Amino acid sequence: MALPKEERYTYADYLGWDENERIELIYGAPVMMTPPSRRHQEVSGELYRQLANFLEGKKCRVYAAPLRCPPV
């Protein structure tokens, strides 16, 4: 996806972008993200598994990234 030409963006702008693109906003500037490494996926998967097991039956939830939702 070609990024729009504006210099600064808001979270509302971000919510309108293609969900399949890995872009994050840093101080209003869009930054393309590289895919995570295999080691990163292994570590984050293990953390997710342990947290999910710990929180089972509780009100809290754990989510694996990426997660895109509007602010609460």
Per-residue pLDDT of the chain in tens (72 residues, 90 and over written 9) = 666 566 789 988 888 888 888 888 899 999 998 888 999 999 999 999 999 999 999 999 898 876 766 665
- Supply the pLDDT for residue 4: 59
Between the alpha carbon of residue 56 and those of residues 3, 10, 52, 61, the distances in Å are: 40, 35, 6, 8
| pTM exceeding 0.85 | no
Distance CA 13, CA 28 (A): 10
- Supply the pLDDT for residue 38: 96
Beta carbons of 45 and 18 less than 8 angstroms apart: no
First to last CA, the chain: 28
SS3 14: helix
- Supply the pLDDT for residue 49: 96
